[in-house]
Amino acid sequence: MLVVSEEVREALAARRPVVALESTIIAHGLPRPRNLQVALELEDAVREEGAVPATIAVLDGRPHVGLDKRQLERVANEDGIRKLGHRDLPLAVAAGASGATTVSATARLAALAGVRVFATGGLGGVHRQWTVTQDESADLGLLARTRITVVCAGVKSILDVPATLQRLETLGVAVAGYRTDRFPGFYLSDSGHPVDWTLRTPEEVAEVMRAQNALRGPESALIVANPVPLAEQLDPGLHARVLADALDACAAEGVTGQAVTPFLLDHLVRHTDGASLRANLAAVRGNVRLAARVATAWARV
């Protein structure tokens, strides 16, 4: 039932570089028509680096790895496109539903198709006040049992970053900073927390991927934490003030569960005059280009 586009299928068969891209940023992360423009821009960036983009989504109950322009337009513009984590995939398939894939669902479908490198913005993680809410993103558990390399800008700064790093360690998910010894904070180049390992070239990342295979360890992911450039990050002082206000507003309005993340992110966009969205897009663009270079190095291995 997995539909792999002809372009992606041929690239995989020829051992050419392929980069998986999620589709939630298209359907749920950006306003129309900006969402489609960004989707096409990210695919173009992958191609400019010499790799093949594989945007992933579920359409009419069929998981697709690699979308054509018409399908991208559908994800961007069609009302009722659901947001699918990996747990939702069997339900969406059985119901014939259409949905955009989150990090966990994208990683799962990419791995099923044989795509080893995946670019995204920021991972989900452990939410603040976890001891009360027990709220943790499904991304973490899925990455603990999926052999894929995820290039990201760390985890969303609205989360409990140190708790997320601890959880990743407990789950056995490898984490390395790319040309940094600090863990990025999505909108910020530095979350305030260190990483134990630093990788400096796409070839070094590919060597770690090779070692993962050779050691025959658990089928876990490699997270390559690539910071947004300092010149394009959200001003740290503004970030701290607006996030504090957002958390207060969230508590005052009684927002809970899955509604917390979109509430906080929307608050950040509105109260930073769009600066948080610009930092988000800068991070995604950088991650996509790095992922394409990593995929190219991996194809050589």
Helices (H), the chain: 6-13, 24-27, 34-48, 69-77, 89-95, 103-113, 130-133, 138-143, 161-171, 202-215, 236-252, 260-271, 275-300
At a CB cut-off of 8 Å and minimum separation 6, what does 20 contact? 54, 55, 56, 65, 106, 107, 109, 110, 115, 117, 118, 119, 148
Say yes or no to pLDDT of 258 above 70: no
CATH code, domain carrying 45? 3.40.1790.10
Over the stretch 177-210, which tens digit does the pLDDT of each residue have?
999 999 999 999 999 999 999 999 999 999 999 9
Nearest to 106 by CA among 205, 17, 20, 173: 20
Q: When comparing pLDDT for 129 and 211, which is higher? A: 211
Task: Please compute the mean of the pLDDT values over residues 228-232 and round it to a whole number.
Answer: 96
Q: Are 206 and 299 in contact (CB under 8 A)?
A: no
Contact call for residues 58 and 97 (beta carbons, < 8 A): yes
Predicted local distance difference test score (pLDDT) of residue 18? 98
Assign 137 a pLDDT band (cuts: 50, 70, 90). Answer: confident
Q: How confident is the model at residue 251 (pLDDT cuts 50, 70, 90)?
A: confident
Q: Average per-residue pLDDT in the chain?
A: 94
Note whether 13 and 47 are same-domain residues. yes
Catalytic residue (one of 6, 83, 156, 232)? 156
Q: Which amino acid is at 185?
A: G
**Which of 172-181, 219-228, 251-260 shows the lowest per-residue confidence on average (mean pLDDT)?**
251-260
43 is catalytic: no
Domain range for 127 = 122-301
| 62, burial (CB in 10 Å: exposed 0-12, middle 13-18, buried 19+) | middle
148 in the same domain as 46: no
Residues 136 and 106 in one domain: no
The per-residue pLDDT for 134 is 61
Q: Are residues 75 and 5 in the same domain?
A: yes
Query: Out of 7, 10, 22, 203, which one is annotated catalytic?
Result: 22
Is pLDDT above 80 for 155? yes
Indicate the number of domains in the chain: 2
pLDDT for position 130: 63
When pLDDT is cut at 50, 70 and 90, the band that residue 256 belongs to is confident
- In degrees, to the nearest 5, what angle opens at C-alpha 44 toward C-alphas 40 and 49? 155
**Residues 92-96: what's their mean pLDDT?**
98
Same domain for 2 and 91, yes or no, is yes
What average pLDDT does range 112-132 have in this prediction?
A: 87
Same domain, 184 and 202: yes
207 is catalytic: no
- Say whether both 111 and 126 belong to one domain: no
In the prediction, which pLDDT does 259 show? Answer: 74
Decide: helix, strand or coil at residue 102: coil
Same domain, 261 and 166: yes
What is residue 263's predicted lDDT score, i.e. its pLDDT?
A: 86
Residue 133 has pLDDT above 80, yes or no: no
Q: Are residues 153 and 88 in the same domain?
A: no
Domain boundary among 115, 130, 147: 115
The answer to whether residue 131 scores a pLDDT higher than 60 is: no
260 and 293 both lie in a single domain = yes
pLDDT at position 156, please?
82
Residue 84 has pLDDT above 60, yes or no: yes
User: Among 115, 139, 155, which residue terminates a domain?
Assistant: 115
| Residue 249 exposed, middle or buried by CB count within 10 Å (0-12, 13-18, 19+) | middle
Pick the closest to residue 76 from 92, 94, 95, 55 (CA basis). 55
Q: Which of 115, 147, 168 represents a domain boundary (last residue)?
A: 115
- 34, 25 Cβ separation under 8 angstroms: no
In terms of domains, do 300 and 168 share one? yes
The pTM of this model reads: 0.95
User: Does 292 lie in the same domain as 166?
Assistant: yes
- Would you state the pLDDT for residue 132? 56
